[in-house]
Amino acid sequence: MNLKHSKRNILKAILYPACLFSAVSAHALDPVGLGSHSASGGNITAMATLESYELQDLNGDGDTRDRILTLHDIDTGISTNTGIPMVGQLATDGTTIVFLFSERVDYVDLNGDSDTSDNVLAYYHIPSGQFYTTSVVPYLSAGQSGSLPHYNVDQNIITFV
């Protein structure tokens, strides 16, 4: 199978459920661009898998309300559930995946402000399989629902607007 054909099948697999959901749900509040749910770099595509769509608890917390970080290796065709719940959009350079992580998941104050209601900048290092949180809480304007609109990762540098 050539790479062009493989990418087309992946795109169909990602878009088809979204199109089906849109056709069934006429009362959607805000359209969400595909870019907010997936990011590619190198041979890895990172995406948010909706537990509610899969109808299963993918991170073992007893509910099906989360968006779980999933990795798909384009070369091998293998998808890996990291079990990490994520908030908002994601970005990757093929080695590191950046996204927001809610303090509410573990009810831990990650930024030292004495509450557990923030979304902090987090990242996942693909080669090591290690997940890291930071104490950085990007300022979000009203109406963003905890979603960071633009960020990027390039080697050891994470930038965001």
CB 69 within 8 A of CB 97: yes
For residue 76, how many other CB atoms are within 10 A of its CB?
8
> pLDDT digit string (tens) for 19-60?
333 333 333 333 333 345 677 777 888 999 999 999 999 999
Please give the Cα distance from 102 to 97 (Å, whole number): 16
| pTM for this model (two decimals) | 0.68
Please give the Cα distance from 126 to 71 (Å, whole number): 9
Radius of gyration of the chain (CA): 16
> pLDDT digit string (tens) for 113-135?
999 998 888 999 999 999 999 88
Pairing mode of beta strands 157-160, 151-154: antiparallel
